[in-house]
Structures are given as C-alpha cells and as structure tokens.
Amino acid sequence: MPHPNYAIDEMISAKSIAARIEELAREIRTEFADTDKLVVVGLLRGSFVFIADLVRELDLAVEVDFLEASSYGDGMESTREVRILKDLRGQIEGRDVLIVEDIVDTGHTLAHVTKFLGSRKPARMKTIALLDKPARREVDFKASYIGFEIPDEFVVGYGIDFAQRNRNLPFIGKVRFIDES
Ligand code: IMP
Ligand code: MG
C-alpha cells in the first residue's frame, strides 16, 4: 500500500470534544424535556462516533435511526447533488427528531435532508453538527446546534474520513499535504 503523502495535525482534542458534547447535551435535554421519545437520526457514515457519544450524554428516552446521503465519494469536493442512499427504518410523522451530522460544509447535504425528512411532517425537527465551516457555505443553511466553528481546512478523525481512512482517530485533525518534489 502506498504511503499517504499527508500528515494529520491535531485541531480539536478528544477532551475538548467530550466537554463540548456535555454542554450540547444539556441544551438538547432542556429543549426536548417534554418529548416522549426523541428520534435521533445519524447521517452515515461520518456521524457514527459523534452520535454514539451524544446519545450517551442525553438523559432522555431516545430512538436511534440512520440515514445515508451521497457525499464526497473518495474526493475532497462536494458533489452538490445529494441523493438518499439509505432511508430511515422508523416513522417520524408527529415525532420529535434530531438530525446528527459530522460537518456542515457547503450546506447542500443538510439542506436536502431536512427538506426530505421535513416532508414527513415531524412534530419538531432540529439539527446538530459537530463542525461547521461557514466560509464554505453555498446554500443558506444553519444547524440548530454546532459543536465547533472551524476554518476552511480539510479535517479527519472522530468518525470523519479522507478516502475512507482516519475515521478511528479519537480527535479532529487537519490534513496537511506533504510536498515530496
Ligand atoms: P456539505 O453537503 O458540503 O455540507 O457536506 C457535508 C459532508 O461533506 C459532510 O457530511 C462530510 O461527509 C463531508 N465533508 C465536508 N468537509 C469535510 C472535511 O473536512 N473532511 C471530510 N469530510 C468532509
Ligand atoms: Mg457526511
């Protein structure tokens, strides 16, 4: 296997992520305190670590479901045209829903997914993204909850990949390409 020509510099430590998730969970618990059973929807695959940590901090009755939307493929550029590859297993009509995403970048994915799920008439629908890159936005979208605002850098770790690698890093790191010429 060729040695990848990039290095990863830590941007957000595992400890900072855990502390921020505790704060976010407190806000979400307050917002959904009156909910019978919250449907927490993770967007595959990037949100799998975040949703696992988040739901364990939520002292609420939750149902966990997953949705997969098409994304970058193996590149670093958004495809912009979002397709639903895997739908929810459960019903959300009349339910309270929290959509969990890893990063809001151009905004196309969450804009599309909220429209797609919103058409099923949930009682309340909120979105949470661990990371937000506002400088990259192409469509007007703002998540209800954001973990960290970050600059326009390509990041990996804590569920987030570069060509299906590095999802298992416990921290968020920034990809730095190494010029070998
Ligand atoms: P958007 O549709 O452009 O907002 O893209 C959102 C999706 O792009 C995220 O769910 C990620 O899967 C992917 N993405 C955006 N920025 C990065 C990054 O820095 N590293 C890895 N994936 C990213
Ligand atoms: Mg994604």
- Residues near ligand 1 (Cβ within 6 A): 46, 71-72, 78, 101-109, 154-155, 160
Task: List the structure tokens of 3.
Answer: 């040695």
Residue 153 Cα to chain centre, angstroms: 16
Which ligand 1 atom sits closest to the C-alpha of 43?
10
pLDDT tens over the chain, length 181 residues = 566 799 999 999 999 999 999 999 999 999 999 999 999 999 999 999 999 999 999 999 999 999 999 965 556 666 678 999 999 999 999 999 999 999 999 999 999 999 999 999 999 999 999 999 999 999 999 999 999 999 999 999 999 999 999 999 999 999 999 987 6
Q: Which ligand has the shortest distance to the CA of 45?
A: 2
| Cross-strand pairs, 125 | 97
Using CA atoms, how far apart are residues 97 and 111, in angstroms rounded to an integer?
Answer: 15
Distance (angstroms) between ligand 2 centre and the Cα of 37 equals 25
pTM: 0.95
Using CA atoms, how far apart are residues 122 and 127, in angstroms rounded to an integer?
Answer: 13
Distance (angstroms) between ligand 1 centre and the Cα of 105 equals 5
| Cβ–Cβ under 8 Å, residues 95 and 39 | yes
Tell me whether residue 74 is one of the annotated catalytic residues.
no
Distance (angstroms) between ligand 2 centre and the Cα of 51 equals 13
Which domains are assigned to the chain?
14-151 (3.40.50.2020)
Q: Which residue of the set 96, 102, 105, 161 is catalytic?
A: 105
